[in-house]
Amino acid sequence: MTIKMAVVFGIFLLAVAGCGTVSTVLRDEAEAAHGLRKHKTYCQSIPRIYSGLAYDFCILNAPPDSTGILAPAILLDMTVSGVLDTFALPYTVYRQSADGSINIYWRPGRG
């Protein structure tokens, strides 16, 4: 039973560490943008409202992962991100109105 709990806890930690909501709400904007650039996403920006789901969609909107592991993990993360994004709505609505969307590829003159 303890090994099973350790495996579940390890999977939970991996899911939270890669969670789209954690990447966009709790981390710096530049880190979120860097994470998406690393995946070579085609997204130019993501809204702060439901940013975790948008982050996950942008990862799916990138060249295919050669291992085939990324897509199922992202689909699982979308469920967790959807719940966490709903709880974060008051904060993300404020940030969206104050700061606008998160730019993935910064261009001079775009801000």
Per-residue pLDDT reduced to its tens digit, 40-56: 999 999 999 999 999 99
Contact of 76 with 15, CB cutoff 8 Å: yes
Q: According to the model, what pLDDT value does residue 110 have?
A: 47
| Residue 108 is assigned to a structural domain of this protein | no
Burial (CB count within 10 angstroms: exposed 0-12, middle 13-18, buried 19+), residue 20? buried
Structural domain includes residue 88: yes
pLDDT of residue 67: 79
Distance of CA 52 to the CA centre of its chain: 4
4-20 pLDDT tens trace: 766 666 666 555 555 88
The boundaries of the domain holding residue 51 are: 2-103
Is residue 85, in this structure, part of any structural domain at all?
A: yes
Number of domains into which the chain is organized? 1
Tell me the sheet residues that pair with 45: 103
pTM, rounded to two decimals? 0.78
Q: Is residue 111 part of a domain?
A: no
